[in-house]
Amino acid sequence: MTGLPYFPTDRRTLLRSSMLLGAGAALLPGAGFAQSDARAAIRAAAAANTAADIKRIQDWIALPTIAAENRNVPEGAAYMEELARAAGFTGVRQVPTDGVPGVVGFMDNGARQTLGIYFMYDVKQFDPAEWSSPPLEARIVDKPDWGKAIMGRGAVNQKGPEATFLAALHAMKAAGVTPPVNIALICEGEEEIGSPHFRQIAETPDVLAALKKCSGIFIPASWQGPTGAVNVNLGSKGVVELELVASGEKWGRGPKGDIHSSQKAAVDSPVWRLVHALNTLVTPDGNTVAIDGWFENVRPLTEREKELVRQAAAAGNEELTKASLGITHWIDDLSFEDAMIRLAGQPTVNIEGLVAGYTGPGGKTVLPGRGVAKLDLRLVPNQTRDEAVRKLRAHLDAQGFPDVEVNVSGGYDPTETAEDSALIRAELAAYAALGVEARLNPRLAGSWPGATFTAPPVSIPAGHFGLGHGSGAHAPDEYYVVESTNPKVAGITDATMGYVEIMYQLAALA
């Protein structure tokens, strides 16, 4: 599921962020809800539960599970179990993996349709010194143009939206209303490191059986911009996260550890070797992948997909989008429309970080014995994670870098969901009932492990759904709006009712 004012830029949300400005919406309290049915009672219960719903988010933020640091792993899984049980799920348990455990729960409401819900209970690392408010205190702050918001690590990515989905179940329980769908809940604690063991959870026999009954599955999201409009994503790019490591020890040249930099005149540098290896992965401008065979399985965007991108770009605000990203030009000086088409359709190799030698204040004259480049590879249909890693390794070998290590930490394939699937139809119907403008988006440039659901053996539609607003995922000062001052953007009660609405819309599908 990162800090721009209203443009999340984490690996799940970048395309959406650049295409919605200018679209109009009218989110009104209770909009789309027939006052004679159960929704009115549910809304009253949701409003009464507001303080408890906000505290639920704050308490969850106070207990961060950070897989990359092995922080609070047992505690995080146990807390996820507590949240699921309190919301009414049965059969709640931890599912062990070769890494961090998952959590599953089920709700059999005797309904005809079953809805799958995906949660991640882990969050990104943080440096408290970079925050204006302590990242684990989840204080309520004023966000100009948005309203009151919870600020803390995980506020919008993804604990705020997920806890708001749970708030919908609490409101239905308080109103004495049985949800109109059955629900299968599947949670993981490793999404922020690329979900390396998530398939082990999803393919556990009883979990797999429950998932296969679902008409679709979504991750709760809060992606409304200032106009209130939302995107309905028909897919997401895949991702591979990895490190390339060059060392004197593996190379057989250069030092095994750091030595005095004066020795460079006589000794090879593993860090320069890493730089040269990186240069072979892309064209000289860094903009196009040059790994051997990289594009042979890439499925180009269809004309329908390109048209959807063009429509969104035409309705957008290019200058405001550039400002939100802190840029003045698109890649290769492309037009806004062409840049957005490229964003949806192009696979990438990105350097997340470079680490070697001394990086503290001042200088330290060393010749490092080891250099590390942290990369992410974004994949489009019909690429796969395994193919990408295999081709990267073969390319480095062919270019004369067999000693450069490729250490994969996680990742997953791209995902695609049919426009006429039950999940997408229910999402569009729910947004329409709420008076929210929704625009079909062919592919999210960010990534999430939806391929676990869309590919065999699960093979169900998967996507994102939700109202509300937040930003700053992966960045300092992450926040989630709970009391909106923008009438077109949902606060926590309206966002809660959004999850109620999609349940009723899915239940009504033939």
Domain boundary, last residue among 412, 440, 466:
412
User: What whole-number distance in Å separates Cα of residue 498 and Cα of residue 481?
Assistant: 15
pTM for the complete prediction?
Answer: 0.88
One domain for residues 405 and 496: no
Domain boundary, last residue among 412, 436, 453:
412
Q: In which residue are the tokens 């997920």 written? A: 162
126: left (phi over 0), alpha (psi -120 to 50) or beta: beta
Domain tally for the chain?
2
Nearest to 467 by CA among 440, 436, 442: 436
Token pair of 449 as six digits: 């492990």
Nearest to 442 by CA among 422, 425, 463: 463
Neighbours of 453 (CB within 10 A): 24
Q: What contacts 24+ positions apart, CB below 8 Å, involve 252-257?
A: 252/403, 254/367, 254/369, 255/367, 255/368, 255/369, 256/369, 257/369, 257/370
Collapsing DSSP states into helix, strand and coil, what is residue 322? Answer: helix
Partners of 106 in beta bridges: 90, 184
One domain for residues 433 and 403: no
User: What whole-number distance in Å separates Cα of residue 342 and Cα of residue 445?
Assistant: 10
How far, in Å, are 27, 41, 388, 411, 494 from residue 197 at the CA level?
Answer: 39, 41, 18, 10, 35
Nearest to 375 by CA among 330, 331, 406, 344: 406
Domain boundary, last residue among 412, 438, 458:
412
Decide if 80 is inside a domain. Answer: yes
Collapsing DSSP states into helix, strand and coil, what is residue 94? Answer: strand
Decide if 176 is inside a domain. Answer: yes
One domain for residues 351 and 432: no
Decide if 436 is inside a domain. Answer: yes
Is residue 370 within 8 Å of 358, Cβ to Cβ?
no
The pLDDT of residue 256: 95
Between CA 56 and CA 63, with CA 59 as vertex, the angle to 5 degrees is: 135
Is residue 163 within 8 Å of 60, Cβ to Cβ?
yes
One domain for residues 256 and 231: no
Collapsing DSSP states into helix, strand and coil, what is residue 118? Answer: strand
Between CA 27 and CA 31, with CA 29 as vertex, the angle to 5 degrees is: 65
User: What whole-number distance in Å separates Cα of residue 488 and Cα of residue 431?
Assistant: 12
Tens digit of pLDDT per residue, the chain (510 long)? 433 223 333 333 333 333 333 333 344 444 444 334 799 999 999 999 999 999 999 999 999 999 999 999 999 999 999 999 999 999 999 999 999 999 999 999 999 999 999 999 999 999 999 999 999 999 999 999 999 999 999 999 999 999 999 999 999 999 999 999 999 999 999 999 999 999 999 999 999 999 999 999 999 999 898 889 999 999 999 999 999 999 999 999 999 999 999 999 999 999 999 999 999 999 999 999 999 999 999 999 999 999 999 998 988 889 988 987 899 999 999 999 999 999 999 999 999 999 999 999 999 999 999 999 999 999 999 999 999 999 999 999 999 999 999 999 999 999 999 999 999 999 999 999 999 999 999 999 999 999 999 999 999 999 999 999 999 999 999 999 999 999 999 999 999 999 999 999 999 997
User: What whole-number distance in Å separates Cα of residue 15 and Cα of residue 341?
Assistant: 10
Q: In which residue are the tokens 């159960």 written? A: 38
User: What whole-number distance in Å separates Cα of residue 355 and Cα of residue 349?
Assistant: 17
One domain for residues 281 and 426: no
One domain for residues 227 and 284: no
pLDDT tens digit sequence for 321-368: 898 789 999 999 999 999 999 999 999 999 999 999 999 999 999 999
In terms of DSSP H, where are the helices of 331-384? 336-345
Is residue 411 within 8 Å of 375, Cβ to Cβ?
no
Q: What is the CATH number of the domain that holds 227?
A: 3.40.630.10
One domain for residues 81 and 38: yes
The residue segments making up the domain with residue 404 are: 238-298+347-412
59-83 burial by CB neighbour count: b if 16+ within 10 A, else e? ebbebbbbbeeeebbeebbebbbeb
One domain for residues 218 and 285: no
Q: In which residue are the tokens 């200058």 written? A: 319
Collapsing DSSP states into helix, strand and coil, what is residue 405? Answer: strand
> How far from the centroid of its chain's Cα atoms is residue 345's Cα?
18
User: What whole-number distance in Å separates Cα of residue 380 and Cα of residue 295?
Assistant: 10
The pLDDT of residue 315: 83
One domain for residues 419 and 398: no
Q: What is the CATH number of the domain that holds 389?
A: 3.30.70.360
One domain for residues 267 and 406: yes
